[in-house]
C-alpha cells in the first residue's frame, strides 16, 4: 500500500526522487487524504457511472464518436474477469477526468443522504487552496432570509436550529420523546398519543417546521403501536401460532426500521458533530448536512406506508384470531398499489405459514394440529377422546363363526356404540366458515374439511392408520403448501380429496362390506327374500296371534333360525346372518304378537356411520308396514283357499250360496287391494330406490357425507312412498292411517267370514246327519236340540260380514281418491293400479246420481 503510494509519488512528482524528506512528507499527506472520508458514498451502479461519463464525453465531443468508443471499451472492460472493482476503477478515472477541466458538475447522485462532496473540493487540510469548491460565498449583500434571521436574533426569539429539532425528530421516530417535542398521553380514549411542542422562551419553532415534524411523527406514533403490540404478544402465553408469526414478521420489519434509523442517526452525527454551537448555523453547514427534516421526510416516506399497513394489521389483529386474521390481511392484498400489494403478500406468506402447516397435516394425515384453535376446522372437545375409546376388537368379521344371534352381548352397550358412529363423523369436527382464509375459497374449504375428516375417520374409526401414514409420506415428497402457490394448493387439495374419498369408499365397501349389509337390510327388513319371509310367517303365525306378553324372545330367535335354515337365506354369509335378530317392541296391554314382532339387523362401527340408529328406526318402520301387508296377504290367501275349497265340497247350504258369492266378491276385491299394495311397495318403490342407490355406489364419487346422504335419500324415498306420506304438515299420516284401518277391517272381515264358515260347516254337518237319520243310517250322536238352524245367528253374522265388506269398499274408495290427488307421482300410479278398470270410479258415480 505505502510502496505503491510511494511509486505514485515518485512518478508524479519527479522532484521527490531525489528528495527523501519531500517524498516522505508527500506520502504521509497522501495517506491522510486516503484515510479521510472523501467520497464515502459508494455508488455501485456501474451503468449510472457510465451514463455520467458518457454525458461528459458528449459535452466535450458532440459528434458522439468518443462516446461510442467509450461504450465499446466499457463493454470490453466488463468482459474482463480480472478486476473485481470495475466500478471503482471507472469512478476513479471519471473523477480524474473531471478535475482538469474543473467543471463544477458534481456527479448528481440521486437524492442520497450524503451527496459525495465534489471531488474537486480540497480537503480542509490542503496546504494549497487553489481553485476549488463551489463558487464560494455569495455576494455579500444580505438576503431577506438573513435579515429576518438577524432580526429574530435581535429580538431574542430565534428559530430553533434544525439539527436540534432533527435530533428530536429522530427520537420521535423511535417513539421517544425529545427535548423540544414530546409525546404526551392525551385524553383520547383510544390511548393515542398527542404531539406536544415544548414551550421554550428562547426559541421559536416555525409553523412549517411544526407541520413537518407532525408528519414525521406519525411514523413514530405508528411505531409505538406496532411495537407495543409485539411486546404485548411476546410476554403473553397462549398466543396463537398465526399471531406469533405475525409478530415475528413485524419484528423483522421493525429491525429493518431500526437499521434505517441507525443509518439516519449516523448521518446526522457525522455531519453535525463538527458543527458549531447552535446559534451560528451557517447556510453552508445547512446545505452540506446530509440530513434535513425534508430529506428525512423523503426517506421516511416509504416507511410511513409500511408502518400504516402494519398498524392496520395490528389493529385488526386485536379482534381477529387465527384464520380470520389471515383473512383480514388477505383483504389488503387486493390493492392497486404495488407497494402495498407486495408488502401484504410478504406478510401473508409469513403469517400463513402456520396455517399451511396445519393444513398440510390435516389434508394429508387427517390430524388436527392446532393448539390454539386457529384452523378453520374445530374439534369437539367432548368427542375428541372417542377416537381412541373404541375397542379395536369389537368383533368385526372376526367372530363370525359363532353364527348365533345372541353374540352381541348386552344391548345397551351396542346402542351407545351405535350412537357414536354417526355422531363421531358428524360432530367431531366442525367447519368454521369465518376462520377460513379467503384465498382458499369455500368450496375448497369444504373439500379440505371433508378430506381431513375422511382421513381421520379411516385412521381412527376404521383402524387403517397404516394406509394414512403411507399417504402422508407420499404427500411429503410432493412439496409443501404455500400461499404464493395457490394453483398448486388447489391441485393438491383436489388430489388429496380424491384419494381420501376413494379410499374411504374402498374401506367401506371392501373391508367392511357395506354393500352386503345394505343388501341384507333390503332382503330381510324390506322382505326381499320372499321364501324366507313366508317360512318365518308360517312358523310364527300361530304364536304371534297370542297376546304379546306370552311371547318369549328365545322362541322367536329359534323360529327365526329355523326359518333361515329352511329357506334360501342360509346361503348368506354368517357375518350377515348373525346380525339378524328377532325381538319384540315395547308392548302394551292387549296387543298381540303381530303388533309387536319385529326383525332387527345389527350394525356396528364404522358401518353405523352410514346406517345409523335413525336409519334403523326407519327400516323398522318400513318392515312393520311391509310385514303387515304380508300378514294380511297371507291371511286372505288362506281364507280364500279354505273358502273356495270348502264351498264346493262340504258347505252345502243352498240358501246361503248367494251370501257366499257376495263374500267371495268382497274377498277378491281385498286380495286385489293387498296384492297391488304389496307389488307397489316392492316393485315401484323399493326396487327403484335400490337401483338409484346402487348407481350412486358404483359411481364412487364424493365422500362419506355424500354416501350418508345417498343412503338417507334412499331411505327417505322409501319411507315416504311406502307409507304414502303426504307432504302436508299435520296430515302426513292420514292415508297411512286409512290404509291401516283397511287392514284392520280386512282382518275383522276375515274373522267374520270364519264365523260364517264355521256356522255353515256345522249347519251342513247337521243337515248331513239329519239326512242320514232320515235314511236310517246312524252316523254318530244325534245333535242336541239347541244346535238347530238358527236364522237369528246367521243373520247376525251376515250383517257383520256385509258391514265390513261395505266399509272396506268405502275406505278403499276414499284411499283411491286421496291417492289420485297425491303429490307424489308414484302414489298416483298406485291409485291407478288399484282402480285400473275404473272400478272405484264407476261405483262412485251411481252413488252420486
Partner 1 sequence: MSSRESDRITAAQQTLDVLYDISQLLNTGLDKETLATCVGMIESGVNPEALAAVIQELRRESQALSGRPTTNGR
Three-class DSSP labels, 609-657: HCCCHHHHHHHHHHHHHHHHHHHHHHHHHHHHHHHHHHHHHCCCCHHHH
Q: How many helices (H) and strands (E) does the chain have?
A: 32, 6
Least distance from partner 1 to the Cβ atom of residue 35, Å: 8
CB count within 10 Å of CB 326 equals 29
Least distance from partner 1 to the Cβ atom of residue 134, Å: 16
Window of 10-18, 134-142, 415-423, 697-705 that interacts with partner 1 by CB under 8 A: 10-18
Give residues 437-496 in contact with partner 1 (rule: CB under 8 A): none
For residue 438, report the phi and psi dihedrals to the nearest 5 degrees.
-70, -25
In this chain, which of 24, 28, 33, 494 binds partner 1, going by CB under 8 A? 33
Window of 50-58, 391-399, 530-538, 623-631 that interacts with partner 1 by CB under 8 A: 50-58
Least distance from partner 1 to the Cβ atom of residue 31, Å: 9
Per rule CB under 8 A, is residue 7 in the interface with partner 1? yes
What's the N-to-C CA distance of the chain in angstroms? 133
Any idea how long the chain is? 849
Nearest Cα to 750, choosing from 678, 675, 642?
642
Tell me whether residue 39 or residue 547 sits nearer to partner 1 (CB atom): 39
Tell me whether residue 77 or residue 383 sits nearer to partner 1 (CB atom): 77
CB count within 10 Å of CB 84 equals 7
In this chain, which of 47, 81, 139, 141 binds partner 1, going by CB under 8 A? 81
Least distance from partner 1 to the Cβ atom of residue 132, Å: 10
Per rule CB under 8 A, is residue 20 in the interface with partner 1? no
Strands 181-185 and 193-197: antiparallel
Q: Helical H runs in 334-370?
A: 338-365
Separation in Å, CA 330 to CA 315, 327, 339, 486: 15, 5, 15, 13
Helix (H) or strand (E) holding 593: helix 593-596
Least distance from partner 1 to the Cβ atom of residue 487, Å: 48
Longest dimension (CA), the chain: 183
Per rule CB under 8 A, is residue 270 in the interface with partner 1? no
Distance CA 24, CA 2 (A): 10
Least distance from partner 1 to the Cβ atom of residue 94, Å: 7
In contact, 671 and 637? CB cutoff 8 Å: yes
Window of 12-20, 244-252, 794-802, 815-823 that interacts with partner 1 by CB under 8 A: 12-20
For residue 540, report the phi and psi dihedrals to the nearest 5 degrees.
-95, -20
Least distance from partner 1 to the Cβ atom of residue 27, Å: 10
Window of 79-87, 311-319, 366-374, 542-550 that interacts with partner 1 by CB under 8 A: 79-87
Window of 27-35, 351-359, 632-640, 651-659 that interacts with partner 1 by CB under 8 A: 27-35
Tell me whether residue 84 or residue 784 sits nearer to partner 1 (CB atom): 84
In contact, 609 and 458? CB cutoff 8 Å: no
Per rule CB under 8 A, is residue 23 in the interface with partner 1? no
Tell me whether residue 83 or residue 269 sits nearer to partner 1 (CB atom): 83
Window of 26-34, 164-172, 642-650, 662-670 that interacts with partner 1 by CB under 8 A: 26-34
Least distance from partner 1 to the Cβ atom of residue 267, Å: 18
In contact, 632 and 739? CB cutoff 8 Å: no
Q: How many residues bind partner 1 (CB under 8 A)?
A: 58
Give residues 116-175 in contact with partner 1 (rule: CB under 8 A): 116, 119, 123, 126, 128, 130
Window of 51-59, 408-416, 637-645, 667-675 that interacts with partner 1 by CB under 8 A: 51-59
Least distance from partner 1 to the Cβ atom of residue 22, Å: 8
Tell me whether residue 39 or residue 488 sits nearer to partner 1 (CB atom): 39
Least distance from partner 1 to the Cβ atom of residue 173, Å: 30
Window of 23-31, 608-616, 638-646, 677-685 that interacts with partner 1 by CB under 8 A: 23-31
The neighbouring-strand residues paired with 218 are: none
Tell me whether residue 12 or residue 263 sits nearer to partner 1 (CB atom): 12
In this chain, which of 12, 147, 298, 641 binds partner 1, going by CB under 8 A? 12
The neighbouring-strand residues paired with 429 are: 379
Separation in Å, CA 698 to CA 335, 515, 646, 693: 47, 10, 53, 9
Least distance from partner 1 to the Cβ atom of residue 361, Å: 52
In contact, 526 and 622? CB cutoff 8 Å: yes
Q: What contacts 653, CB < 8 A, 6 or more positions away?
A: 760, 763, 764, 767
Window of 83-91, 161-169, 444-452, 712-720 that interacts with partner 1 by CB under 8 A: 83-91
Distance CA 240, CA 716 (A): 44
Three-class DSSP labels, 700-739: CCCCHHHHHHHHHHHHHHHHHHHCCCCCCCCCCCHHHHHH
Tell me whether residue 39 or residue 441 sits nearer to partner 1 (CB atom): 39
Tell me whether residue 19 or residue 614 sits nearer to partner 1 (CB atom): 19
In contact, 166 and 291? CB cutoff 8 Å: yes
Nearest Cα to 696, choosing from 717, 715, 714?
714
In this chain, which of 20, 47, 63, 76 binds partner 1, going by CB under 8 A? 76
Distance CA 816, CA 681 (A): 16
Q: What contacts 712, CB < 8 A, 6 or more positions away?
A: 615
Tell me whether residue 82 or residue 774 sits nearer to partner 1 (CB atom): 82
Three-class DSSP labels, 208-219: HHHHHHHHHHHH
Per rule CB under 8 A, is residue 2 in the interface with partner 1? no
Nearest Cα to 514, choosing from 693, 300, 770, 258?
693
Distance CA 594, CA 581 (A): 16
Tell me whether residue 66 or residue 495 sits nearer to partner 1 (CB atom): 66
In this chain, which of 14, 47, 141, 780 binds partner 1, going by CB under 8 A? 14
Tell me whether residue 30 or residue 438 sits nearer to partner 1 (CB atom): 30
Tell me whether residue 111 or residue 127 sits nearer to partner 1 (CB atom): 127
Least distance from partner 1 to the Cβ atom of residue 6, Å: 10
Give residues 195-254 in contact with partner 1 (rule: CB under 8 A): none
Q: In the stretch 86-125, what mask flags binding to partner 1 with x, by CB under 8 A?
A: --xxxxxxxxxx-xx---------------x--x---x--
Give residues 54-73 in contact with partner 1 (rule: CB under 8 A): 56-57, 60, 66, 69-70, 73
Least distance from partner 1 to the Cβ atom of residue 153, Å: 38
Distance CA 315, CA 718 (A): 56
In contact, 118 and 108? CB cutoff 8 Å: no
In degrees, to the nearest 5, what angle opens at C-alpha 568 toward C-alphas 566 and 573? 105
Per rule CB under 8 A, is residue 273 in the interface with partner 1? no
Distance CA 161, CA 604 (A): 87
Q: What is the DSSP string of 778-797?
A: --SSPPPTTSS--HHHHHHH
Least distance from partner 1 to the Cβ atom of residue 368, Å: 58
In this chain, which of 47, 63, 84, 776 binds partner 1, going by CB under 8 A? 84
Long-range CB contacts for residues 236-240, cutoff 8 Å, separation at least 24: 238/372, 239/372, 240/321, 240/322, 240/325, 240/372, 240/373, 240/374
Window of 31-39, 398-406, 455-463, 789-797 that interacts with partner 1 by CB under 8 A: 31-39
Residues in the site for partner 1, rule: CB under 8 A?
Answer: 1, 4-5, 7-9, 11-15, 18-19, 22, 26, 29-30, 33-34, 36, 38-40, 53, 56-57, 60, 66, 69-70, 73-74, 76-77, 80-85, 88-97, 99-100, 116, 119, 123, 126, 128, 130
Amino acid at each position: 500500500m505505502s510502496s505503491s503510494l510511494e511509486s505514485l509519488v515518485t512518478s508524479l512528482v519527479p522532484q521527490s526522487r531525489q528528495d527523501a524528506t519531500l517524498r516522505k512528507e508527500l506520502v504521509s499527506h497522501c495517506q491522510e487524504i486516503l484515510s479521510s472520508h472523501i467520497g464515502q458514498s459508494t455508488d455501485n451502479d456501474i451503468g449510472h457511472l457510465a451514463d455520467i461519463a458518457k454525458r461528459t464525453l458528449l459535452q466535450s465531443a458532440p459528434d458522439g464518436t468518443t462516446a461510442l468508443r467509450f461504450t465499446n471499451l466499457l463493454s470490453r472492460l466488463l468482459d474482463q474477469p480480472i478486476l473485481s472493482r470495475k466500478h471503482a476503477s471507472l469512478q476513479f478515472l471519471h473523477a480524474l477526468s473531471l478535475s482538469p477541466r474543473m467543471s463544477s458538475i458534481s456527479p448528481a447522485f440521486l437524492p442520497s443522504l450524503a451527496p459525495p462532496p465534489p471531488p474537486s473540493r480540497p480537503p480542509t487540510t490542503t496546504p494549497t487552496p487553489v481553485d476549488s469548491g463551489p463558487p464560494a460565498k455569495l455576494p455579500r449583500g444580505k438576503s431577506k432570509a438573513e435579515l429576518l434571521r438577524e432580526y429574530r436574533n435581535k429580538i431574542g426569539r430565534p428559530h430553533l436550529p434544525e439539527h436540534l429539532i432533527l435530533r428530536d425528530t429522530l427520537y420521535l421516530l423511535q417513539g421517544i420523546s425529545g427535548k423540544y417535542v414530546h409525546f404526551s398521553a392525551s385524553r383520547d380514549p383510544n390511548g393515542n398519543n398527542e404531539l406536544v411542542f415544548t414551550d421554550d422562551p428562547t426559541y421559536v419553532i416555525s409553523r412549517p417546521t411544526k407541520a413537518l415534524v407532525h408528519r414525521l411523527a406519525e411514523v413514530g406514533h405508528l411505531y409505538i403501536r406496532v411495537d407495543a403490540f409485539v411486546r404485548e404478544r411476546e410476554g403473553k402465553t397462549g398466543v396463537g401460532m398465526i399471531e406469533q408469526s405475525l409478530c415475528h414478521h413485524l419484528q423483522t420489519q421493525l429491525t429493518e426500521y431500526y437499521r434505517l434509523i441507525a443509518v439516519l442517526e449516523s448521518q446526522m452525527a457525522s455531519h453535525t458533530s463538527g458543527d458549531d454551537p447552535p446559534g451560528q448555523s451557517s447556510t453552508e453547514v445547512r446545505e452540506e448536512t446530509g440530513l434535513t427534516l425534508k430529506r428525512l421526510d423523503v426517506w421516511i416516506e416509504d416507511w410511513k406506508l409500511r408502518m400504516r399497513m402494519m398498524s392496520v394489521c395490528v389493529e385488526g389483529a386485536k379482534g381477529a384470531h387465527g384464520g380470520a386474521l389471515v383473512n383480514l390481511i388477505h383483504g389488503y392484498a387486493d390493492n392497486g398499489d404495488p407497494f402495498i400489494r407486495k408488502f401484504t403478500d410478504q406478510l401473508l406468506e409469513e403469517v400463513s405459514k402456520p396455517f399451511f402447516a396445519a393444513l398440510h397435516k390435516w389434508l394429508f394425515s387427517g390430524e388436527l394440529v392446532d393448539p390454539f384453535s386457529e384452523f378453520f376446522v374445530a374439534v369437539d372437545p367432548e368427542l375428541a377422546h372417542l377416537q381412541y375409546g373404541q375397542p379395536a376388537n369389537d368383533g368385526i368379521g372376526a367372530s363370525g363363526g359363532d353364527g348365533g344371534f345372541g353374540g352381541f352381548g348386552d344391548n345397551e352397550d351396542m346402542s351407545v356404540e351405535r350412537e357414536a358412529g354417526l355422531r363421531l363423523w358428524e360432530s367431531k369436527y366442525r367447519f368454521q366458515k369465518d376462520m377460513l382464509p379467503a384465498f382458499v375459497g369455500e368450496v375448497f374449504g369444504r373439500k379440505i374439511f371433508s378430506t381431513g375428516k375422511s382421513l381421520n375417520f379411516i385412521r381412527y374409526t376404521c383402524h387403517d392408520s397404516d394406509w394414512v401414514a403411507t399417504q402422508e409420506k407420499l404427500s411429503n415428497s410432493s412439496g409443501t403448501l404455500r400461499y404464493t402457490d395457490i394453483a398448486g394448493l388447489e391441485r393438491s387439495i383436489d388430489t388429496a380429496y380424491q384419494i381420501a374419498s376413494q379410499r374411504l369408499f374402498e374401506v367401506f365397501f371392501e373391508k367392511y362390506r357395506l354393500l352386503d349389509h345394505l343388501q341384507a337390510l333390503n332382503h330381510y327388513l324390506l322382505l326381499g327374500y320372499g321364501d324366507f319371509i313366508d317360512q318365518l310367517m308360517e312358523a310364527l303365525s300361530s304364536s304371534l296371534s297370542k297376546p304379546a306378553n306370552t311371547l318369549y324372545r328365545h322362541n322367536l330367535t329359534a323360529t327365526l333360525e329355523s326359518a333361515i335354515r329352511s329357506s334360501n337365506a342360509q346361503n348368506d354369509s354368517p357375518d350377515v346372518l348373525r346380525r339378524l335378530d328377532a325381538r319384540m317392541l315395547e308392548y302394551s296391554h292387549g296387543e298381540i304378537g303381530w303388533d309387536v314382532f319385529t326383525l332387527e339387523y345389527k350394525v356396528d362401527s364404522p358401518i353405523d356411520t352410514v346406517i345409523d340408529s335413525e336409519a334403523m328406526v326407519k327400516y323398522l318402520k318400513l318392515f312393520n308396514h311391509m310385514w303387515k301387508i304380508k300378514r294380511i296377504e297371507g291371511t286372505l290367501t288362506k281364507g280364500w283357499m279354505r273358502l273356495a275349497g270348502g264351498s264346493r265340497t262340504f258347505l252345502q247350504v243352498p240358501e246361503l250360496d248367494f251370501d257366499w258369492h257376495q263374500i267371495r266378491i268382497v274377498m277378491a276385491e281385498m286380495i286385489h287391494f293387498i296384492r297391488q299394495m304389496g307389488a307397489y311397495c316392492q316393485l315401484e318403490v323399493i326396487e327403484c330406490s335400490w337401483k338409484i342407490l346402487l348407481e350412486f355406489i358404483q359411481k364412487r364419487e364424493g365422500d362419506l357425507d355424500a354416501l350418508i346422504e345417498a343412503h338417507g335419500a334412499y331411505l327417505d324415498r322409501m319411507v315416504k312412498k311406502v307409507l304414502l306420506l303426504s307432504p302436508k304438515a299435520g296430515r302426513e299420516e292420514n292415508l297411512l292411517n286409512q290404509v291401516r284401518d283397511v287392514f284392520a277391517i280386512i282382518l275383522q272381515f276375515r274373522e267374520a267370514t270364519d264365523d260364517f264358515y264355521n256356522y255353515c260347516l256345522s249347519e251342513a254337518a247337521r243337515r248331513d246327519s239329519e239326512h242320514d237319520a232320515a235314511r236310517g243310517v246312524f252316523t254318530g250322536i244325534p245333535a242336541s236340540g239347541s244346535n238347530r238352524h238358527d236364522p237369528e245367528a246367521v243373520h247376525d253374522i251376515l250383517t257383520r260380514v256385509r258391514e265390513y265388506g261395505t266399509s272396506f269398499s268405502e275406505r278403499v274408495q276414499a284411499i283411491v281418491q286421496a291417492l289420485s290427488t297425491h303429490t307424489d307421482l308414484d302414489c298416483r300410479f298406485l291409485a291407478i293400479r288399484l282402480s285400473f278398470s275404473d272400478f272405484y270410479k264407476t261405483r262412485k258415480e251411481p252413488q252420486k246420481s
